[in-house]
Amino acid sequence: MDGNRRRPGDPYEVGFGKPPKHTRFKKGQSGNPNGRPRKKPDLYLELTEVLHENVTVTVDGQPEKVTVQQALLLRLRDQALKGEIWAEKLLQKVVEAIPDSVSEYDDIERDVGFFRSTALFQLMYDESVREKSGAASTSVETPNGE
């Protein structure tokens, strides 16, 4: 008789490719019950989603629906036209960051995304400073009515 063959009634042999019965997966149970962990959202993705949300802005007394990005650029333009030096410099940087052709856009897309986030944070900081000082601001209404 062959020494490697099991006979009926022999105990279960444990070895390579033969795990102990008590450590095997149970029938009908997944080997990974929790599944793959969810991907944590990154700042660029969240910022892009926020910048593409629609808001209502009052322009010359008329409400207009624009994206957050457009509203920020409109406010930046208005501040620059009022003579705010910081707004003029920031607007100049925005204009310089815009590519002359589509092929250039592919090369600097990541840099523009970083610049957008930097500009947004700068605008939010400047706006919070202005609100604390009591300066007037443009009214913006979010879709939630906030």
Query: If pLDDT is split at 50, 70 and 90, which confidence band does 122 have?
Result: confident
Question: So what's the pLDDT on residue 105?
Answer: 55
Q: For the whole model, what pTM was predicted?
A: 0.46
Q: Which residue has the tokens 């620059």?
A: 80
- Which tens digit of pLDDT belongs to each residue from 29-60? 777 778 888 888 888 889 889 999 999 998 88
What is the arithmetic mean of pLDDT over 118-130? 73
Q: Is 76 exposed, middle or buried (0-12, 13-18, 19+ CB in 10 A)?
A: buried
**Domain residue spans of the chain:** 43-141
